[in-house]
Amino acid sequence: MLRIILFLGTNLAIMLVLSVVASIFGLDRWAYNQAGINLQGMLVMCAVFGMGGAFISLALSKTIAKHSVGAQIITQARGADEQWLLDTVGHHARNAGIGMPEVALYDAPEMNAFATGMSRNHALVAVSTGLLRSMDRDQISAVLGHEITHVANGDMVTMALIQGVLNTFVMFLARILGSVIDGSLGDRDNNRGGGFGYFIIVMVLQTVLGFLATIIVMWFSRWREFRADAGGAKLGSRAGMIAALQTLAGNHGPSVLPKAVQAFGISGDSGVARLFMSHPPIEERIAALRNAA
């Protein structure tokens, strides 16, 4: 259930780079006119950069995921376990109506798995060695079904769309507020989007607003986990999915997954603030599966 695609960290980095590029090439100034801010032009510029940044993050997600955890793609099974893994992913993918994803293993003591990729038919499903050692095949099959459901539901693309809309409004509001603040500090050039002070204010506001926008992304992530759990129960088995979650409840070891990828995994983040949790509490997920039965 790892599925917030290396996404938030990569997206933030890309947005900062794009904002610097916009300032260097004077695109911020283009969104201003003699009367001040050209709201329509500013919104168009922010939409292009905001949506573009989100989909660049999505396009890079699979490559970044592979390298960040050292995942090794299984091109040819080297034993019975790897062959079973390939066969099970293929079986679930056919039942879910998607193309065969790339299957990978990564060496980590934690029990985790994640899926990511640009589209339903070009995805990656990766499993930790810790999960393979700690769960039986019925549980692992349900976990793989969970990840395949994320792919089949188009969660990665939907996440990119949501992030793109949020990026747009974060950039837009940062520039509007930056212009007002810069003007109140006496910078006469703020009505043309210029000045070093304006640039610094916009970067700070964009970072703060982007952090707050994460609350919405995390809410969507938590909601989709319940759907993916139901998919894991359907493609695998309900008993296997519940047992896998119960096993995960005892998994307190540190995660090797980067924060940007943890939302795309099976094992959620038990952060102090629920608003910033990528996964619902495991007990709530188990209760939802039992109630559905």
User: What does the alpha-carbon distance between residue 116 and residue 3 come to, in Å, rounded to a whole number?
Assistant: 6
Judge contact between 124 and 100, C-beta under 8 A. no
1 within some domain: no
Q: Quick check: is 20 in a domain?
A: yes
Residue 157 within any structural domain of the chain: yes
Mean pLDDT value across the chain: 82
Q: What is the pLDDT of residues 148-185, one digit of tens each?
A: 999 999 998 898 899 899 999 998 998 888 888 877 87
- Which of 231, 234, 255, 233 lies closest to 242, judged by CA? 233
- Please answer whether residues 240 and 144 qualify as being in contact, where contact means their C-beta atoms are separated by less than 8 angstroms: no
Tell me whether residue 284 is in a domain: yes
pLDDT category, 195, cuts 50, 70, 90?
low
What pTM value is reported for the model?
0.79
Q: Check if the beta carbon of residue 56 is closer than 8 Å to that of residue 221.
A: no
Q: Is the pLDDT of residue 20 over 90?
A: no
pLDDT in tens, 89-136: 999 999 999 999 999 999 999 999 999 988 899 999 999 999 999 999
Asked if the structure places residue 288 within a domain, the reply is: yes
Q: What are the catalytic residues?
A: 147
Domain annotation covers residue 2 = no
Q: What's the pLDDT score for residue 94?
A: 97
pLDDT tens sequence across 41-91: 788 888 888 898 888 888 888 888 888 889 999 999 999 999 999 999 999
The owner of tokens 């043309």 is 192
How many whole angstroms from its chain centre is CA 60? 12
| Other Cβ atoms closer than 10 A to 121 | 13
Confidence of residue 266 (pLDDT cuts 50, 70, 90): low
Count of domains in the chain?
Answer: 1
In a domain, 145, yes or no: yes
CB atoms under 10 Å from CB of 71, counted, come to: 23
- Judge whether 56 lies within some domain: yes
| Domain containing residue 17 | 7-292
